[in-house]
Structure 1
Amino acid sequence: MKYRINELKSGLKIIQDKEPSIIIDIEFIKPGKGQSFCRIKIKKLISNKIIEKIFKSGDLIKKADIEEISCIYLYNDKKFGYFMNEKNYEQYIVNKSILKKHYKWLIEELKCILTFWNKIPIFIVLPNFVKLIVIDTSLESQNNSSNNTKYAKLITGAFIKVPFFIQINDLIKIDTRSGEYICRIKN
């Protein structure tokens, strides 16, 4: 299936340069003379590159066969992550290279969204915040009075900066987009 430029809108998934992409922003331009066109800002879903393209009024843009499935993270075996579809309990195996920077926030039973292109997983969307347990903290930063943070190792193996009052076995909230500490959660 193909879209005409007058059918385009933000959020549509298209194929651009043989890669699935999402339209971030679109601007229709109808000059006084000549043919109308649109300027589109596109984010490529596999390479994460953001590009701008101009399409003329007669151009057709190919629709991407993208499917987003709500899943639950089960476990990993160092090479693959295993997920289960919430609705039909079907399981998916996802290569660690696709999980990339999100790998350090994955805990059992975490709900997330897997995005598939032609039935192959291409990336994962985590919730904006996760709650993780601190398993170790460093005291190295305490010598510097201007720095009120220290490093904490989390149950997933990730290291983040936390305030001095965070202790081992504390449950903390982390922003998965930035990797920053948000707050301590009382049990």
Structure 2
Amino acid sequence: MAVLIEAINIKRKTLFEFENAPFACLDSDITTPTARGGQTLVRLKIRNLLTSAVFEKTFKANDKFKEPDLQLIPASYLYSDGDGSHFLDQETYETLTLDDGMIGNALDFLIEGALIQLHKYNGNPIGLQLPMFVELTVAYAEPAARGDSSSGSGTKLARLETGLELRVPPFIKEGEKVKVATENGEFSGRA
């Protein structure tokens, strides 16, 4: 039998099934009434893992949800074309395809052969989970302005091998590998 999760126990990053779709909790807020006989309410900010839609919904504290049939499987990025982005399941060596809606901005961080985690819901791929940081090569970096390097302040624009543009410190040169945070697309240091 499937495990049931009460609404009051749903915290940030909890996965649950609601209206036959998998959801991830982004934030939760519990409201306890001051009057006698009032019900405790749980306000959840949730993301639909199939559509990526984010919204807020209020539930009673004792509402119950099933755990979704979600799996995280290791996969490597192969290539993208008109049909979508293709990944190789590292366990079954099956090619899995995700459309642009499922990928989002992940292609900014993916190079051929990159290892990621794919989400499967009821056996079908629905999205991916990037690592916290990726290492990418700088394809182009603006020349540093004179005097910038001594003060340590200031940044310049750099374009990475994936086409992602970001601000980097003046000492970063073309051909160097840099570490990029996938959550916000910001420079995190040299690789």
TM, length-normalised to structure 2: 0.76
Q: Residue 34 in 1 paired to residue 37 in 2? A: yes
Contact 1:2 1:60 in 2 (8 A): no
Contact 1:96 1:103 in 2 (8 A): no
CA 1:25–1:56 in 2, change beyond 3 Å: closer, same or farther? closer
Find the aligned partners of 1:56 and 1:165 in 2 and give their Cα distance. Answer: 53
Structure 2 residues not aligned, in runs of 5+: none
Q: Residue 53 in 1 paired to residue 58 in 2? A: yes
Find the aligned partners of 1:7 and 1:37 in 2 and give their Cα distance. Answer: 9
Tell me which of 92, 96, 107 is aligned to 2:96. Answer: 92
Instruction: Give identity over the alignment, percent.
Output: 25
Task: Describe the SS at the equivalent of 2:156.
Answer: strand
Q: How do 1:23-172 residues align onto structure 2 when only pairs under 5 Å count?
A: 23=25, 24-25=27-28, 27=30, 33-34=36-37, 36-44=39-47, 45=49, 46-55=51-60, 57=62, 59-77=63-81, 79-139=83-143, 142=145, 148-172=154-178
CA RMSD of aligned residues (A): 3.2
Task: Describe the SS at the equivalent of 2:79.
Answer: strand
Find the aligned partners of 1:56 and 1:20 in 2 and give their Cα distance. Answer: 19
Task: Describe the SS at the equivalent of 2:145.
Answer: helix
CA 1:42–1:96 in 2, change beyond 3 Å: closer, same or farther? same
Letter aligned with residue 119 of structure 1: G
Number of aligned residue pairs: 182
Q: Deviations over 1:145-175 (max 9, x none)?
A: 6972211111111111111211111111111
Q: Residue 181 in 1 paired to residue 184 in 2? A: no
CA 1:143–1:128 in 2, change beyond 3 Å: closer, same or farther? same
Find the aligned partners of 1:79 and 1:137 in 2 and give their Cα distance. Answer: 32
CA 1:120–1:87 in 2, change beyond 3 Å: closer, same or farther? closer
Structure 1 residues not aligned, in runs of 5+: none
Residue equivalent to 2:4? 3
Tell me which of 7, 14, 17 is aligned to 1:14. Answer: 17
Find the aligned partners of 2:92 and 2:122 in 1 and give their Cα distance. Answer: 19
Find the aligned partners of 2:55 and 2:7 in 1 and give their Cα distance. Answer: 22
Task: Describe the SS at the equivalent of 1:142.
Answer: coil
Task: Describe the SS at the equivalent of 2:60.
Answer: strand
Letter aligned with residue 20 of structure 1: P
Find the aligned partners of 1:4 and 1:165 in 2 and give their Cα distance. Answer: 51
